[in-house]
Amino acid sequence: MAAVRRSVALTGAALSLGLVLTACSSTPSAPTSSSGGSGASTAPSAAPQVDAAAFTSDFSVMKQLAGLASQGKGMVGVLLPDTTTSTRYVQYDAPYLTKAFEAAGLSSSQFKIDNANGSASTMQTQAEADINAGASVLLVDPLDAGSGAAIEAKAEAAGVKVIDYDRLVTGGPADRYYVSFDNVAVGKLIGTGEVQCLTDWKVAKPNILIMDGDPTDNNAKLFAQGYNGVLQPSFDSGAYVKVGEPAGTWTPSVAATTFEQQYTAHPNINAVVTPNDDNANAVIAVLKKDNIPAKTFPTTGQDASLPGLQNILTGYQCGTVYKPIYLEAQAAAALALYLRAGQTPPSTLVNSTTTDSVIGKDIKSVYTTPIWVTSANMGATVVKDGAVTVSELCAGNVAAACTAAGIS
């Protein structure tokens, strides 16, 4: 997703209203402790009841977890995958996770965030270093399920709690947790966005190329489930033609080559479904090289990246799925704090389950909600949230499009 890819996601308090809770809250108790020198035991204290729908852009909910953070033991290690398939990990995830942990009162020695820079072996080394340094919780966003599952198995064997962050680690331990956006919902937004764009841009006979994400990424499968579900009835009826669905990737250069090959073989292609802004940007570069006019050839995206947002404003991309990563980061940090303190997370936070098809188990999950962003709501979402600045977004030849969209 880029990544998000992922990816992600699902502004502020308004976004939180879109999250659905699936269970009532529970009130687990903190361990009994002794008051200083008296030998008398204090009554068990209740863990704070954090709601997955309550996180906001000011990180105020994390401050409510300061007591929980003070109870915890060990370090929280965060393993992020790369800097190339999506810029989100450097721009958003790492800073937001840092802000979430610090807002709850953790010091810099109590959490550690690493990026594997695209190397599974590097992530393995980082994980081992965290375990050896006394980590009690690992958040893992793997490069692939196999290496992720190996990391998690080693962590659990060492008594470390495990959280899948953003991507489900299929084949991982059955008792782990998962924090992400509802990725089937992400795919549905992409599919419905494509349908709306085909109408708005007056594409009379849609011949659509489906360009999936990397098949080793479970999120890519969930995205595809979502958008193919939306589009299949129109393929079945003959209203749309599905030209093809080549092997997927999260690498923009590979996506560009794939698209050029498909476009050469099938010059009737006039729309593309792409679940990633960076891959969409690669497709759009080919379209511009071929002098395809704006608002004639729909593409889609995900991650609300700067190039994706600019492509939307200039009429080369229909929209992007915005996943407010500050929500996902806070949810993951909060969950880690419960596990670090030996507490059972409340069902107001752990609000869903996700099936791991490899082990045949439902994994306890926290879902946050994605948003489809177009030029019409860009100012009220990604710009308002500060995910991108107006000066960056509206630079150069995008300035006039920003003005037309009411962004200033």
pLDDT tens by residue, 2-13: 443 333 333 333
CA 115 to chain CA mean position, Å: 16
Q: Is residue 7 part of a domain?
A: no
Is position 38 within any domain? Answer: no
Q: In what order do the strands lie in the sheet with 352-356?
A: 111-115, 75-80, 135-140, 161-165, 177-181, 361-368, 352-356
Q: Is there a single domain that holds both residue 391 and residue 307? A: yes
Q: Residue 175: inside a domain, yes or no?
A: yes
CA distances from 189 to 18, 130, 279, 366, 383 (A): 14, 37, 17, 19, 20
195 lies in the same domain as 313: yes
Residue 301, judged by CB atoms within 10 A of its CB (0-12, 13-18, 19+), counts as buried
Which CATH number characterizes residue 142's domain?
3.40.50.2300
pLDDT tens, 125-177? 999 999 999 999 999 999 999 999 999 999 999 999 999 999 999 999 999 99
Q: In Å, what is the CA distance from 207 to each residue of 55, 234, 262, 263?
A: 41, 11, 12, 11
Do 351 and 221 lie in one domain? The reply is no
310 phi and psi angles, rounded to 5 deg: -70, -35
Q: Give CA separation, 400 vs 124, 309, 375, 394, 405, in Å.
A: 47, 14, 12, 8, 9
In a shared domain, residues 316 and 357: no
Helices (H), 60-144: 60-63, 66-71, 88, 94-103, 120-132
The residues, any chain, with a CB within 8 Å of residue 298's CB and separated by 6 or more, are: 194, 197, 198, 201, 203, 271, 272, 318
Same domain flag for 188 and 156: no
- Residue 95 DSSP SS3: helix
Contact 179, 186 (CB under 8 A): no
**How many domains are contained in the chain?**
2
Whole-angstrom distance between the N-terminal and C-terminal Cα of the chain? 28
| Per-residue confidence (pLDDT) for residue 87, from 0 to 100 | 74
Same domain, 340 and 259: no
50, part of any domain: yes
Contact of 328 with 180, CB cutoff 8 Å: yes
Does the predicted model carry a pTM greater than 0.85?
no
Structure tokens at 371: 């948003």
Do 218 and 289 share a structural domain? yes
- With respect to residue 35, please indicate whether it lies within any of the assigned structural domains: no
Determine the 3-state secondary structure of 102 from DSSP. Answer: helix
- Say whether both 318 and 345 belong to one domain: no
- pLDDT value at residue 386: 87
**Four-residue CA torsion sign, 306, 333, 6, 161:** positive
Whether residue 33 lies inside any domain: the answer is no
Q: Angle at which helices 277-289 and 306-313 pack, to 10 degrees?
A: 50
Would you say 284 and 258 are in contact if contact means Cβ atoms under 8 Å apart?
Answer: no
Structural domain including 219 reads: 183-323+372-404
Residues 396 and 293 in one domain: yes
Q: Are residues 255 and 393 in the same domain?
A: yes
Cβ neighbours of residue 60 closer than 8 Å, sequence gap 6 or more = 103
Segments of the chain scoring below 70 in pLDDT = 1-46, 85-86
Cβ(75)–Cβ(130) below 8 Å: yes
- Both 120 and 197 in one domain: the answer is no
Is 105 a domain residue? yes
Give yes or no: residues 176 and 206 share one domain: no
Q: Is residue 2 one of the residues assigned to a domain?
A: no
Name beta bridge partners: 322: 371
